[in-house]
Amino acid sequence: MFDANIWIISIIVLFSISLGLVAFFKNPRSKTNRIFLLLILFMVTWQLSNFLENEKIGQNLAKLFLRTDFASAMLVGYFWFLFVLNFSQIKRFIVKPFLKVVIFLVSLALSLLAFTNLIISNINFNTGAIRFDDGRLWPIYALVLVFLFIAGYAMLILNLFKAHGLIKMQILYIFLGASISSIIALVINLFFSNFLTIDQSRIGLYGTIVFIMCAFYAIIRYRFMDIRIAARKTFIYTVSAVFIYLIFYSVAWFYERYFGGIFATSSYLLGLILAPLFAVVFIWLYKFIQKIANKYLFFSLYSNQETIARLSDELTNSIDLSKIVDSIVDSIKQAMQLDRAGILLIDQNDNAVKYKIAKVIGFNENNGISLVQDNFLTRHLEKTQRVLVRDEMQLLSRDSNNAEERQGFDQLAENMKHIEASLCLPMIISNKLIGMIVLGSKISNDAYTKEDLDLLTTLSKQAAIAVDNARLYKEVQDFNKTLKQKVDEQTKDIQQAYDVEKQAHEELKKLDQNKTEFMLVTQHHLRTPLSVNRGFLDLLNQGQFGKIPAKMQKVISELIESTQKEINVVNELLDVSSYQLGKQMIHLEPDTDMPALMDETLKDLIVEAENKGLYLKFEKQGVIPKIPCDRTKMKLALTNVIDDCVKYTKQGGIVVTLKTQNDKLLIVIKDTGMGMTKDQIPNLFNQTFHRSEEAQKIFAVGKGLGLFLSGKIIDGHHGKIWVESEGEGKGSTFYIELPINNVNINK
C-alpha cells in the first residue's frame, strides 16, 4: 500500500544526508564543514527517530526512538550553535573557551539524560499516538534547547547587519531556513507533541525541508561553504538514484500484482526485455539531468571551455595591442553576462605607478575609475596575485591584524562600490603587476561563483601574456624606427667618416633584425602557446573536464610543473633581450625593508640548501635603513646570486650579511663552494650563456643567464656588484653595494 509519509521522509533524509556529505568531502579540513556534517547527521537521526516513534514497530522500540528523538534534538541544537559560531566567525561576541566547554558538557549531559525518566517519563500509547509526561529536568532541557537556537539566531543577526554582498546573502538564507524550520519543530515537537495527532506532529519534521532548500539555494547562487560543484554532482546523482528507486519498486509492484512475485518464471523472462530497455532509458535520463544541471543551475560551467578556446585562439593569432584588449574585454563581458568591464595597464615609462585606460565598457572614465591610483590596491594584487572580490573584502578586513591594512581594505571597498566595480583581476608577468581587469556585476545580479573566478583567473593569465607580448613587439618596432633615424642623422652630419658609419649602420641593422626576429619567435612560438597549455592543464587538473584517475593526475601535475619551468626560461630570455635592447625595467618603490626582502628571498632557497646538507645563514649588522628599490627585480637578482652559491657548493654553506658601509648598503654573500680563477671573474656579470667547464660538470642544465641579469638589475639601481675568490676550491664572496638615498633611474 502506498504511504506518502514514507516517501516524504525518505526524500527529506536523502537530501539532508547529501547536503552534509557534499559539504564535508568538498573540504574535510574545514572546521565549519565538519561541524555542518555533524549537525546534518544528528538532524537526520532526529528526523528518523521522530518518524519511527509513531510507526507500528512495537512499544519498546517506539520508546527507544522517542528518547533518541529528544537526545538527538539536543545535539542538533548544540551543533547548530557551534556551526553558527564558526561560520559567522564571531570575534566580538563573548563566547570564551570556558563557556564553550560548559555549553558542550550541559548539552551532552541533557542528551544522555533523555534516556532516563529525568527528561521524559510515563511513556504510553493509550490514544493511539505516543504520549509522555515531563520529567523533573524537562524545564532545564527545554530552556537550554531554546537558548541554543536563539543564540545562533542572534549571532547571525549581528553579522547580517555588518555583512555586505555575498556574505550577507549567505547569512540571510541560512537564517531564514533555520529559523523557519526550527521554530516549527520547537513549537510542535517540543511544546505541543502531547496534544497533536500523529499527522499533525509530523509537520515539525517536514518543516526541516525549508532549511535544506535554503541551504541548497545559498550554495547554488551565493557560494555557501564553497561547495557548488559538489552540489551539482549531488543533484545529478540524487535525481538518478530517485529514478532507480522508483523504477525498482514500480517493477516489484508490477511483478507482484500480475505475475505472483519477482522470482516467478514469467518475471525472469520479462526481465530479459525490461533490463536493456531500462539501461537505454537511464543513459538518456542521466545525460538529460546533466544538461539541465549545467544549463540552468550552473550556466558558467556550460560555456567555460568554449570561452577559453575562443579567447585563446584570438590571443595566439594577434600581436596588435588594441585588438588583444578588445578581445579580452568583449569575451569576458559576453561570457559572464556583465554590465561593465575594463582593462587598465601600468605605464611602464614612468617610475611612479600610473595607469592608462586601455578599454572600458560601462564604466564612467571621468568618475571614479581612478581607484587604480590606490597604491594599496596595486601592492595587494602584486603580493597575492589573486582575484580581489569586493563582497569578500569585509572578511579580509576583519581577519587582518594590521590597522593600516584594515583601513586600506575598507577604503578600497568604498572606492569599488562608488564606481560599481565588483572585482579586480591582476595581470601578472614574472611576479610583476602590468595591469588589471576591472569587472562590474552580472546582468542577472547573481554573485560570482567559484567556477567563475577560476575561469577569470585562467583568462587573466593568458591576457597578461598576450598584452606583454604585444607591448614587447611594439617596443622593438619603435626601437627600429629610433635606431634608423639616429643612424641616418649621423650619416648625414659626419661625411668624413662615411665608410665607418656605413659599416656600423649595416651591423646595427643586422643586429637589430636578429633581435626583432628573436622577440617575435619567442612571443608567438614559445610563450603564448606555453601559457595556453598551462591554462588547459590547470583546468584539467581541477576536474573541469571530468574526473581523472590518480595516475593521470600525477602525470598532469608533472606536466604543469615542467610547463611552468619552460615559461620561466622564456621569461628570463625576454628579460635579457629587454636589457640588451636598452629598455629600462626598474620601477623604484620608496622605503623598501631590505631585511624583510632578504628573509623572503632566503625562505625560497633554504629548502634546496638543506636538501644538500648545507647551511644558509643570514646576519644583520647594525641598523639597516630602508632604501628605494624595485622589490621584484631585486629579489630576482639576490635569488640568482644565492642560488648559484647553493648549486656550486658541495659542503659547508653560505652566509649572507647585510650592513651599511660608507653611506652605502652592502650585501655580502660568502660561500664555501668551488671558487673561481682570476680569469673567470672579469666577464662574470656581462656575458650571457657563458659558464666555465667546472660549473658545467657540477650543474649541467644551467643557462648562464642568472648573473648577467643580476648585474643589469644592480646597475639599474645605480649600485655595484663584484666577486672575489682566492682560487678554485676556495669559495667565493659576492658583494652588492646599493645607494641608500633616492636615485633617478632615468639619469
In this prediction, residues 309-320 reach a mean pLDDT of: 71
Question: For cell 585588438, what's the residue?
Answer: 323
* Domain at 589-739, CATH class: alpha beta
E strand or H helix at 691, and its extent? none
Grid cell, residue 86, equals 564558526
Length of the chain: 747
Q: Which residue has the higher pLDDT, 133 or 223?
A: 133
pLDDT bucket at 329, cuts 50 / 70 / 90: confident
Single-letter amino acid, residue 376: F
Single-letter amino acid, residue 688: T
- Please state, in angstroms and rounded to a whole number, the distance separating the CA atoms of residues 128 and 228: 45
Decide: 624 and 595 in contact? Cβ < 8 Å. Answer: yes
Residue 337 above 60 pLDDT? yes
Rg (CA), the chain: 34
Q: What is the pLDDT of residue 702?
A: 44
In this predicted model, what pLDDT tens digit does every residue of 166-180 receive, in sequence order? 677 778 888 888 888
Q: Tell me if residue 713 falls in helix, strand or coil.
A: helix
Q: What is the pLDDT of residue 529?
A: 67
pLDDT bucket at 677, cuts 50 / 70 / 90: confident
Q: What is the pLDDT of residue 721?
A: 93
In this predicted model, what pLDDT tens digit does every residue of 52-63 receive, in sequence order? 887 777 788 888
Sequence-distant (6+) residues with CB within 8 A of 321 are 358, 467, 470, 471, 474
Sequence-distant (6+) residues with CB within 8 A of 85 are 93, 95, 155
Grid cell, residue 181, equals 524550520
Residue 700 above 70 pLDDT? no
Task: Tell me how crowded residue 45 is: count the other CB atoms within 10 A of its CB.
Answer: 18
Cα 635 vs. chain centroid, distance in angstroms?
Answer: 25
Sequence-distant (6+) residues with CB within 8 A of 332 are 338, 341, 437, 439, 456, 459
In this predicted model, what pLDDT tens digit does every residue of 594-651 receive, in sequence order? 999 999 999 878 888 988 899 999 999 999 999 999 888 898 889 889 988 998 898 9
Secondary structure letter of residue 719 according to DSSP: -
Integer CA distances (angstroms), 78 to 38, 142, 152, in order = 10, 13, 9
Grid cell, residue 119, equals 527528561
Q: What is the pLDDT of residue 737?
A: 94
Q: Tell me if residue 243 falls in helix, strand or coil.
A: helix
Residue 327 above 80 pLDDT? yes
Residue 747 above 80 pLDDT? no
Decide: 394 and 160 in contact? Cβ < 8 Å. Answer: no
CB environment 220-244: b (16+ within 10 A), e (fewer): bbbbbbebbbbbbebbbebbeeebe
Provide the percentage of residues in the chain whose pLDDT is more than 70.
Answer: 71
Cα within 13 Å of Cα(228), Cβ side: 26
Tell how strand 355-361 and strand 589-592 pair up: unpaired
**CA-based nearest residue to 209, from 427, 23, 11:** 11
- Please state, in angstroms and rounded to a whole number, the distance separating the CA atoms of residues 369 and 363: 7
* Domain at 301-466, CATH class: alpha beta
In this prediction, residues 121-145 reach a mean pLDDT of: 85
Q: Tell me if residue 132 falls in helix, strand or coil.
A: strand
Q: What is the pLDDT of residue 642?
A: 92
Residue 706 above 90 pLDDT? no
DSSP string, 184-201: HHIIIIIISGGGS-HHHH
Residue 90 above 60 pLDDT? no
Query: What is the dihedral sign for C-alpha 296, 298, 300, 306?
Result: negative
pLDDT bucket at 2, cuts 50 / 70 / 90: very low
Q: What is the pLDDT of residue 113?
A: 93
Single-letter amino acid, residue 327: S
E strand or H helix at 325, and its extent? helix 321-336
**CA-based nearest residue to 441, from 422, 469, 468:** 422
E strand or H helix at 294, and its extent? none
Sequence-distant (6+) residues with CB within 8 A of 167 are 159, 391, 392, 394, 395
Integer CA distances (angstroms), 493 to 279, 487, 490, 500, 505, in order = 88, 10, 5, 13, 14
In this prediction, residues 644-660 reach a mean pLDDT of: 92
In this prediction, residues 324-330 reach a mean pLDDT of: 85
Q: What is the pLDDT of residue 26?
A: 66
- Please state, in angstroms and rounded to a whole number, the distance separating the CA atoms of residues 135 and 118: 5
Question: For cell 504520549, what's the residue?
Answer: 131
Q: What is the pLDDT of residue 500?
A: 63
Q: Among 23-32, 145-154, 522-531, 668-677, which stretch is predicted with the lowest mean pLDDT?
A: 522-531
Q: What are phi and psi of 429, to 5 degrees?
A: -130, 120
Where does 27-164 have alpha helices with state H?
31-52, 59-87, 97-113, 138-162
E strand or H helix at 652, and its extent? none
In this prediction, residues 567-591 reach a mean pLDDT of: 64
**CA-based nearest residue to 406, from 378, 376, 428, 443:** 376
Provide the percentage of residues in the chain whose pLDDT is more than 90.
Answer: 14
- Please state, in angstroms and rounded to a whole number, the distance separating the CA atoms of residues 735 and 81: 60
Q: What is the pLDDT of residue 89?
A: 54
pLDDT bucket at 358, cuts 50 / 70 / 90: confident
**Angle in degrees, 0-180, between the axes of helices 450-493 and 528-541, rounded to the nearest 10:** 170
- Please state, in angstroms and rounded to a whole number, the distance separating the CA atoms of residues 630 and 320: 29
pLDDT bucket at 369, cuts 50 / 70 / 90: low
Decide: 129 and 66 in contact? Cβ < 8 Å. Answer: no
In this predicted model, what pLDDT tens digit does every residue of 451-488 receive, in sequence order? 778 788 888 888 888 888 887 777 777 776 777 776 66
- Please state, in angstroms and rounded to a whole number, the distance separating the CA atoms of residues 147 and 449: 35
Decide: 467 and 325 in contact? Cβ < 8 Å. Answer: yes
Q: What is the pLDDT of residue 696?
A: 47
Q: What is the pLDDT of residue 217?
A: 73
The secondary structure of 394-454, three-state, reads HHHHHHCCCHHHHHHHHHHHHHHHHCCCCEEEEEEECCEEEEEEEECCECCCCCCCHHHHH
Q: Among 2-16, 32-46, 66-80, 429-443, which stretch is predicted with the lowest mean pLDDT?
A: 2-16
Decide: 111 and 99 in contact? Cβ < 8 Å. Answer: no
**CA-based nearest residue to 325, from 338, 349, 347, 344:** 344
pLDDT bucket at 91, cuts 50 / 70 / 90: very low
Grid cell, residue 353, equals 605607478
Q: Which residue has the higher pLDDT, 341 or 300?
A: 341
Residue 164 above 60 pLDDT? yes
Q: Which residue has the higher pLDDT, 17 or 495?
A: 17
Q: Could you tell me the CATH superfamily of domain 4-226?
A: Rhodopsin 7-helix transmembrane proteins (1.20.1070.10)
Q: Among 82-91, 414-423, 442-451, 577-586, which stretch is predicted with the lowest mean pLDDT?
A: 577-586
Single-letter amino acid, residue 626: K
In this predicted model, what pLDDT tens digit does every residue of 371-421 receive, in sequence order? 555 578 888 888 888 888 887 777 677 667 788 888 888 888 888 888 888
Sequence-distant (6+) residues with CB within 8 A of 644 are 706, 707
When the pLDDT of each residue in the chain is averaged and rounded to a whole number, the result is: 77
Q: What is the pLDDT of residue 703?
A: 46
**CA-based nearest residue to 312, from 329, 328, 325, 335:** 328
- Please state, in angstroms and rounded to a whole number, the distance separating the CA atoms of residues 360 and 328: 11
- Please state, in angstroms and rounded to a whole number, the distance separating the CA atoms of residues 77 and 177: 15
The domain ranges of the chain are: 4-226, 242-297, 301-466, 470-580, 589-739
